[in-house]
Structure 1
Amino acid sequence: MIERVLAIETSCDDTSVAIVDRSGWVHSVVAASQDLEHELYGGIVPEIAARNHSIALIPLIEEAFKKAGMSWSDIHGIAVTNRPGLIGALIVGLVTAKSLSQAKKIPFLGVNHLEGHLLAPFLKDSQYSPPEDFGYPYVGLAISGGHTSLYQIKGLGDYKVLGATRDDAAGECFDKFAKMAGLGFPGGVRVDQLAKTGNPEAFEFPRSMIHDDTFDMSFSGLKASGQRMLEQLGPELVQEQLPDLCASFQEAIVDVLIAKLDRAAKVYRAKRVILTGGVSANSRLRARAEKWAAEKGLTLVVPPIRYCTDNAAMIGYAGVLRMAQGETSAMDLGPSPQALTTDFK
């Protein structure tokens, strides 16, 4: 019986390893950030990401075992992200998982990175556990640098895509604005920090599709508007008004996300909603979502930041649940930059 797995996540630029059991308990989760390596280029360089994964992964596996106080005899399977993501980065994790699977004679399973995000609220550790009344079904908003989508989650493997961004992801929009404003990479966190002392009504930015009769979103127009605003103001005024610019730009993104989440909750009569993905770490989005949920009488679950950003714990939980049902992957499993057509409805 599959009760506990070692999990590997290398879909983008963060290398992460975790040990997770079927109850969702995270025995250990460790990670290596590559922010400093990519900052020079103002964005993620796939080749650099893959190389750094290959350097960090084995030491992280050893650290995960040490932190959990476990050995390979405690592990019944290996869960690894194989889709969607950067191909070179995924290959490192997938080849490592296959090699360990053969060496240790235990099964492995390729996991959809987005499924991990959608199940992250169920994770548990000594500082976090979901509310007692949390369970299926629920509506989920997954927001990151590569994805911004709304889902209805009815159960394990039963996910319906309600809507998504038609162009840029919210996280990408944050990072590009930060880069144009000279804040460096990764920029989303820095926009959030500066916005705390700014006026969100100081500048007017577009909120594309906010009143559209769908669950879809668009952020390319906002990004273009941000670029024009920065160019019109010029370097000196931009620096003087950075907090207001960041607060106003951030508010435009948050307004759209909350509006779409509200519409989904109404249409699907949801009693439970989640925020997940790296952008759900944004303090303004969390505060607005908490206020909205309280006003609507909904249960809102937002995992702690360590389980919102890319992490192996969420991959381990999705993997151990599926492996407990008898699912495994064959040695010819390959990486994919996209989800499979069978992953979502």
Structure 2
Amino acid sequence: MKILGIETSCDDTCVAIYDSKNDLLICNYKYNQHSLHMRYKGIVPELAACQHLSIIDKIINIILSQSNLSIYSINAISYTAGPGMVSSLFIGAAVAVSLAFILNIPIIKVHHMEAHLLSPFIEKSLNIPRMNFLGLLISGGHTQLIQAKNLGNYKILGTTLDDSIGDVLDKIANLLNLDYPGGSKISVFSKKGNIGKFHFPRPMMHNSSFNFSFSGLKTCVSKFIKKYNNNLQSLCDIAKEFENAIFDSVILKCIKAIKYTGYKKIVVSGGVSANIFFREKMILIMNKYNCKVFFPEIKYCTDNAAMIAYMGYLRFKNNKQYNIIVKPKWSLEQLQEF
């Protein structure tokens, strides 16, 4: 069975084809809009939607050509129905539903965050851990701790009360005059920094909840950046401590969650999970708690259609109701209601 996946939840136009028979990703294409949004230091929804509209048909033709496949060899189509930016979601949904209607094949609505959650197992279906694992979703839009009970049955243990971790990384990078998107740039910049020159708070560590808060840390770090703005080495030292502080905050909450759930498996996904410093630190600390950590391949950390096509396979039903549905705000806990 070959499933065409379409992802347009934010600013990346992504299309992929997954072959469930051979557990193989045939093709995965991503067109990012970083150069378009860079001048604004963030994503402009209207521009993102217009770019999706202008490029998506070309990308579908590209992956079919690269795969030596006809559109008529596709057996089902899956698309991101939410959460995300409504104008961008509608482009992918309209194209997916229209194609499915024309081809008279099933259409599958996919939850973007559930797809991220299971992205470490793309092309590795046989290695999916049995459910009952802790999920950590860390990206530009989300920071969540999730109790995964079974497919479609999730409990959100904790979420961010203000900024997401990816958003804070981008904003601090901007203050350091680093290019957008800033998460990966901070890691390179911080390698020149020294440990112990500064100390920043680890927010909500003495709070009994599993929630996150990064706005206070962001404010604290921004004040130090302004103070040492003319000292390059001090800025590198600040970046080093900031990276330590924000990832310590996440890892300490994970420790609290594994003690609470008793789970010995944690699945980490989302754009920020690509950070090598974080990966190494997370694995090292979780080993002390006999907890196995699963990460996606780097190419599947940020938004991609491979995870949408793969999730479409996992959730396949012979559904031919060609109604265009998007849910910009869609909690993982509401999956069974959709």
- The two structures have a TM-score, normalised by structure 2, of 0.93
Number of the residue aligned with 1:236:
230
2:40 is equivalent to residue 49 of structure 1: no
What is the 5 A alignment of 1:109-128?
109-124=108-123
Whole-angstrom distance in 2 between the partners of 1:130 and 1:196: 36
Q: Where does residue 4 of structure 1 map in the other structure?
A: 2
Aligned equivalent of 2:334, options 332, 338, 342: 342
- Identify if the C-alpha distance between structure 1 residues 131 and 332 changes in structure 2 by more than 3 Å, giving closer, same or farther: closer
The one-letter code of the counterpart of 2:279 is R
AA aligned to 1:158 is: N
Distance 1:27 1:72, change over 3 A: same
1:180 Cα deviation from its structure 2 partner: 1.4
Separation of aligned partners in 2, 1:123 and 1:329? 25
Map 1:1-345 → 2, pairs under 5 A: 3-22=1-20, 24-124=23-123, 129=124, 132=127, 134-233=129-228, 235-237=229-231, 239-323=232-316, 325-326=317-318, 328=319, 330-339=321-330, 342-343=334-335
Which string of whole-angstrom CA distances, capped at 9 and with x for unpartnered residues, describes residues 183-216 of structure 1? 1211111001111232243222221112321111
User: Is the contact between residue 254 and residue 284 of structure 1 (CA under 8 Å) also seen in structure 2?
Assistant: no
Q: 1:177 to 1:132 in 2, by over 3 A?
A: same
CA distance in 1, matches of 2:321, 2:216: 43
Contact 2:86-2:327 at 8 Å conserved across structures: yes
RMSD: 1.9
Contact 1:159 1:344 in 2 (8 A): no
Report the alpha carbon displacement of residue 113 of structure 1 after superposing the two structures with TM.
Answer: 0.5
Of residues 166-175 and 136-145 in structure 1, the stretch that sits farther from structure 2 once superposed is 136-145
8 Å CA contact 2:225, 2:235 repeated in 1: no
Relative to structure 2, which stretch is displaced further, 192-201 or 297-306? Answer: 192-201
Aligned AA (2:245) = A
Shift of 1:7: 0.3
Secondary structure in structure 1 of the residue aligned to 2:115: helix
Gaps of 5+ in 1: none
Structure 1 pair 320/131, CA: closer, same or farther in 2 (3 Å)? closer
Instruction: Using the TM superposition, give the Cα deviation of residue 119 of structure 1 relative to its aligned residue in structure 2, in angstroms.
Output: 1.2
Q: 1:57 and 1:241 mapped to 2: Cα distance?
A: 44
Instruction: State the AA in 2 paired with 1:142.
Output: L
Alpha carbons 2:121, 2:128 under 8 Å: kept? no
Distance 1:65 1:95, change over 3 A: same
Q: Offset at 1:329? A: 6.7
Provide the C-alpha distance between the structure 2 equivalents of 1:131 and 1:210, rounded to a whole number of angstroms: 37
Any idea what SS the aligned residue of 2:315 has?
Answer: helix
Q: Which amino acid aligns with 2:20?
A: R
Distance 1:247 1:131 in 2: 38
Q: Following the alignment from structure 2 to structure 1, what is the Cα–Cα distance between the partners of residues 168 and 235?
A: 16
Shift of 1:131: 8.3
- Quote how far apart the aligned CAs of 1:61 are: 1.1
The offset of 1:133, in angstroms, is 7.2
Task: Sort the Cα spacing of 1:130 and 1:72 in 2 relative to 1 into closer, same or farther, 3 A.
Answer: closer
1:112 Cα deviation after fit: 1.0
Task: Output one character per residue of 1:110-164: Cα deviation in whole Å (capped at 9) or x when no partner.
Answer: 211001011112211xxxx478473322111000000000111122111111111
1:210–1:217 contact (8 Å) kept in structure 2: no
Q: Is the 8 A contact 1:121 1:130 kept in 2?
A: no
Give the TM-score normalised by structure 1. Answer: 0.92
Task: Measure the CA separation in 2 of the matches of 1:132 and 1:320.
Answer: 16
Three-state SS of the structure 2 residue aligned to 1:203 is: coil
